[in-house]
Amino acid sequence: MAVKVNHSKCIGCAGCVGVCPVLALTLEENKLSCDASKCIDCGACIKICPFGALSKGDSK
Amino acid sequence: MRTDFDAIVVGGGPAGTSFARKAAEGGMNVLVIEKKKDFGVPVRCGEGFSERWNQVLEMNVSDADLGARMKGAAVFAPNGKKIVLVNDQTTGYVLERKMFDKRLALEAGRAGATLLPKSLAIGLVKEGNKTTGLRALHEGVEKVFKAPLIVSAEGMEAKIAREAGFDCKYDPYDVDACVEYEMVGVKCEPLIALWFGNEIAPRGYAWVFPKGVDYANVGIGVGGSTGADPKKLLDDFIGNHPEFFGDATVVEVKGGVISVGAPIKKMTSDGFMVIGTAAHQVDPIHGGGIGLAIEAGLIAAKHALKAFESGDYSDAALSGYEKEWRGLEEEKLGKRLKLRHVIEKLSDDDFNHVFNETRSKDLDEVLNGHFQGLAARIVLKRPSLLKVLKVLI
């Protein structure tokens, strides 16, 4: 599982990285990515994103 | 470039560059790793900086370095009642962080620190149980840097500190989600203005921090666990106040997530220190952390220099930093957290009532941790509030 990042909404504040319980999110330069092998789909990052840039990804 | 240092700092914000400046001045070879290509961007906060922090900067700064001068604060209740407060915590500046952070980085570089932008810290280097360095991606190429001391000044992210075992993860309850516009054409006074109320900003507040006679940071923060949409609330707030924003337009969109909880339980271990927002060293009432970060960076550097001289980088040797920092800030921040937890339980009607009983002098006392007088007076007039306010009496 992995959260989907809407890069046109994300401003690279990294707040989501700090609340992710499993260190699945990384902000490199200003580009956010989610490691699907770590993400547990808890939704904490989606809830706190000020810009609504994160959403649930498709589970596989 | 060299790869062996006396200390490696992860993060080039105010905490990291302040640490680097002082440690380098004292003779340490310091490397500062910054993931972005420059320091101080993107701006993620209101940029407020109170007067009292000038005393801790240990750097010569002019008013021009510090930005717009603030003469105090104005606090608004949900019904619009306004109280103006002038003391050394509310007078100060609204910084231009892009300039201010760069100035701090410049001074760190001048003092002899090595700054390395475009470098993402990706993990610790270990020999057995001992941390001996850091791996980083510099312009996409992995490099290994060695040092007996790693300093996490990573801000919200704190991934290296968490890898090292520190409890830096943020609970959504302990953060505010914030959206802020820098706007021009705003009618503003040189006061930091704050609006409280559950309709305006659930478990948070709205703010106007003026950066000049006609432009300001205008923002809203909401409790991270509320799920409220700060951008919509900010647009509503601006629309509801044409007297301030009727002629205003947005020149920059900023935002982020700020810490409004308690500091982490432990800030040092063998060969490791955590400073600034990574250590949750942020004021839980207004989410301000620039001054606290600089102060922590400078205290940490003082104790790192002692370790550098003795060659002892053990937890016991480094923990002097945490002890000194807690001695200065812990009690005050603890009281403010208590106050925050009370404020967020008040309904808008209760808040209006509390504010009707509050004078500027009361607010001054409350911010300094003396709650009893005001709380007792309010409970006498509205006994139903005893349940919420008793923790303050």
Is B224–A29 a contact, with Cβ atoms under 8 angstroms apart? no
Q: How many residues does chain B have?
A: 393
Q: What is the mean pLDDT of residues B201-222?
A: 95
B71 has pLDDT over 60: yes
Is B169–A19 a contact, with Cβ atoms under 8 angstroms apart? yes
The count of other CB atoms within 10 Å of the CB of residue B384 is 9
Q: Chain B residues with CB inside 8 Å of A14's CB? A: 155-157, 256-257
Q: What is the mean pLDDT of residues B238-257?
A: 96
Mutate to test the interface with B, among A19, A23, A32 (most CBs of B within 10 A): A19
Distance of CA B7 to the CA centre of its chain: 23
B315 has pLDDT over 60: yes
**A22-36, B52-66, B301-315, range with the lowest pLDDT:** B52-66
Q: pLDDT tens-digit profile of B181-196? A: 999 999 999 999 999 9
The more confidently predicted of residues A59 and B65 is: B65
Q: Which amino acid is at A7?
A: H
Q: How far is CA B187 from CA B190, B215, B230, B350, in A?
A: 10, 8, 22, 30
- Rounded CA-CA distance B35/B387 in Å is 47
User: What SS3 state is found at A57?
Assistant: coil
Q: What is the mean pLDDT of residues B320-331?
A: 97
The count of other CB atoms within 10 Å of the CB of residue B295 is 25
Q: Chain A residues with CB inside 8 Å of B119's CB? A: none
CATH C-level class of B7-41+97-168+264-318: alpha beta
Q: How many CB pairs under 8 A join A and B?
A: 85
B36 has pLDDT over 80: yes
Q: What is the mean pLDDT of residues B386-391?
A: 91
Q: How far is CA B205 from CA A40, A57, B76, B193, B285, in A?
A: 32, 32, 10, 10, 10
Q: What is the mean pLDDT of residues B138-159?
A: 96
Which DSSP helix (H) or strand (E) runs through A59? none
- Record: fold of B49-94+172-259: D-Amino Acid Oxidase; Chain A, domain 2 (3.30.9)
Q: How far is A18 from chain B (nearest CA, A)?
A: 4
- The average confidence (pLDDT) of chain B is 94
Q: pLDDT tens-digit profile of A20-58? A: 999 999 998 789 999 999 999 999 999 999 999 999 986
Q: What is the mean pLDDT of residues B92-117?
A: 95
What residues of chain B have any CB closer than 8 angstroms to a CB in chain A? 35-37, 42, 44, 118, 120, 137, 155-159, 162-163, 168-172, 175, 177-179, 224-225, 227, 229-231, 253-257
Question: Is the ipTM of this structure higher than 0.90?
Answer: yes
Q: How far is CA A29 from CA A12, B140, B150, in A?
A: 8, 11, 21
- Rounded CA-CA distance B36/B38 in Å is 5
Counting beta carbons within 10 angstroms of the beta carbon of residue B348, is it exposed (0 to 12), middle (13 to 18) or buried (19 or more)?
middle
Which residue matches tokens 């990515």?
A33
- Rounded CA-CA distance A42/A60 in Å is 16
Contact between B223 and B315 (Cβ < 8 Å): no
- Percentage with pLDDT > 90 across chain B: 86
**A8 at B interface, C-beta within 8 A:** no
Is A15–B257 a contact, with Cβ atoms under 8 angstroms apart? yes
Q: Which residue of A has its CA nearest to B156?
A: A18
B145 has pLDDT over 90: yes
Mutate to test the interface with B, among A48, A49, A54 (most CBs of B within 10 A): A48
- Rounded CA-CA distance A13/A24 in Å is 16
**B42-46, B264-268, B275-279, B389-393, range with the lowest pLDDT:** B42-46
For CATH 3.50.50.60, the residue range(s) in chain B are: 7-41+97-168+264-318
B260 has pLDDT over 90: yes
B325 has pLDDT over 90: yes
A contact residues 19-48, partner B, Cβ 8 Å cutoff: 19-21, 23, 26-30, 44, 47-48
pLDDT score recorded for residue A59? 53
Q: Which residue of A has its CA nearest to B39?
A: A29
Q: Chain A residues with CB inside 8 Å of B156's CB? A: 13-15, 17-18
User: What SS3 state is found at A48?
Assistant: helix
- Record: fold of A3-55: Alpha-Beta Plaits (3.30.70)
pLDDT score recorded for residue A60? 46
Question: Which residues, in sequence order, are CB contacts of B188 under 8 Å at separation 6+?
Answer: B208, B210, B213, B214, B216, B244
Q: How far is A58 from chain B (nearest CA, A)?
A: 22
Q: Chain A residues with CB inside 8 Å of B44's CB? A: 13
Cα dihedral across residues B355, B360, B361, B366: positive or negative = positive
The more confidently predicted of residues B218 and B66 is: B218
Is B230–A50 a contact, with Cβ atoms under 8 angstroms apart? yes
Which residue matches tokens 């009618």?
B187
Is A29–B35 a contact, with Cβ atoms under 8 angstroms apart? yes
For CATH 3.30.9.10, the residue range(s) in chain B are: 49-94+172-259
Q: Which residue of B has its CA nearest to A42?
A: B172
Q: B30 forms bridges with which residues in the sheet?
A: B7
